[in-house]
Amino acid sequence: MALAAKPPLGWNSWNTFSHDINEDLIKETADAMVATGLKDAGYEYIVIDDCWSLRERDKNGRMVVDPEKFPSGMKALADYVHSKGLKFGMYSCAGTHTCAGFPGSLDYEFIDAKTFAEWGVDYLKYDYCNKPRHLDGPTLYRRMAMALRNCGRDILFSACNWGNDNTTEWIRNSGAHMYRSTGDIVDSWQSVKSIALSQMDMEKFSGPYCFNDMDMLIVGMYGKSHNGYIAAGGCTTEEYRTHFSLWAMMNSPLMIGCDIRDMNEDTKKILMNKDILAINQDAEVRTPYWRKEWDEEPETVIHMWKPLENGDYAIGFFNFHDGDCSGRLQFFDMGLPTRCGYGLRLHDIWEDKDLGVFTDRLETVIPAHGCKMFRASLVEL
C-alpha cells in the first residue's frame, strides 16, 4: 500500500502534553477526534510522542510500555483507536536514547519495527537525539525505513532529524514519507514566522510520498502547554489562522498539537476549514510559487499561488510585519496576460465571500501577522 500520497493529517501529544501522557488521554483524544468532526474533516492519525516506555528494555531487547501510564498495553490502545476508524502512531529515536532519555532504536531497528507492527502501529515519528557523532545519520534513517518496510505492516515513516545532514539530498531515497526540516516549533508568532521564512526555498523538495514537515501545529494552544518552553506565551487567533494557511499552502503535514478535547470555536473553524484543507489535500499536491513585491522589505508581505487539480489556483498573502500592509499580485506573474480575454473569479476563503471577477491584478490589505487566502477560477470575459 502506498502511503502519504497527500500530506498526512492527525494529532500528536507533544506540544500540549509533553511528558504527561497516559492511556485515558489517548482514548479521550480519539473520542474527541470523532465527536468534534475532525475525523470527518480528514484527520486520521493519533500519535503518542516521547515518554511512553520504561527506561530499560526487557531481557529480549524489546521496549517495555510504562505500565502506570498505559496499563492495558499498546496493542489494546491501538485497537481502541482503530475502533474509532482512526490510525495509531508512536515515537522512537535514531539515537541510543530519545530526547527525553528513554531507550532509542539504535541497533534495535528491526526488533522495534517488528514490535510496533505487532502492536498495530500505523505511524512512527523517528527523532534524532543522542546519535553517536561517528555514525552516519542518513544510513540510520535508511535502516529504520528498511525495517518498517519489511515488518509485515504498513507504517508511515515520519523522519525527524530537523534538517541536519543536508536532509533534502537523501531523505526521499531513504524511504521516509515525511521529514522535518526545521527545529522545534513553540507557541509564539516569532516561532511561526522564523520557520515559515526558513522554508521559502524548500518547496521544491516536497512532494507525494515524501513531504516536507514544517513541524506540528500550534493552532488553538493559546499558551496552554505542560511544557513551559513550548507554551512560549501563545498566539492570537489571527496568527493561528496565518500559521495554518501557510502550512497548508506549503503542503506540510498537518499534525494538530492542541488539546482537541477543549477547543474553542475559533480553533474549530481554523482546523476544519474545508477550503484550506482542500488546498493542502489537493490531488496533485503541487508546490506553491512565491515572491515578495519588488518594493517591499524582506519579512513583510509574501504572496504565493499554486495550481489545483481542476484548473483553479490557490492564492495567499502573508504579512510578517508588525503593522497592516497592502499586498499586490499582478496576474501576469501567474501566467495570465492582461489582454488575453480571461480573468479570475475570486473567493475569499476566510471570509467565505465571492468577490467577483478581477482582470489584471489583486490588491488587498493584510492585517499585522495576518493573511488573506483566495481560491481563483479562470473565467472568459
Alpha-carbon distance 369 to 301, whole Å?
10
- Grid cell at residue 208: 507525494
Pairing state between β 254-256 and 289-292? unpaired
Closest CA to 321 of 242, 203, 375: 242
Coil, helix or strand for 46? strand
Alpha-carbon distance 129 to 102, whole Å?
11
Q: Is 127 a catalytic residue?
A: yes
State the catalytic residue, choosing from 79, 184, 266, 275. Answer: 184
Cβ neighbours of residue 85 under 8 Å, at least 6 residues apart?
Answer: 34, 39
Closest CA to 22 of 56, 60, 51, 55: 51
Measured CA distances, 297 to 133, 224, 301, 305 (Å): 40, 34, 8, 20
Residues shown for the chain: 381
Coil, helix or strand for 307? strand
- Grid cell at residue 175: 524511504
Closest CA to 313 of 360, 364, 373: 373
Task: Say which amino acid occupies 82.
Answer: H
Alpha-carbon distance 75 to 79, whole Å?
6
Rg (CA), the chain: 21
Closest CA to 202 of 288, 319, 298, 320: 288
- Grid cell at residue 25: 488521554
Alpha-carbon distance 364 to 330, whole Å?
12
State the catalytic residue, choosing from 127, 187, 213, 259. Answer: 127
**Cell numbers 494538530: residue:** 256
- Please return the burial class of 353, using the count of CB atoms within 10 Å of its CB with bins 0-12, 13-18 and 19+: exposed
Q: Which residues are catalytic?
A: 127, 184
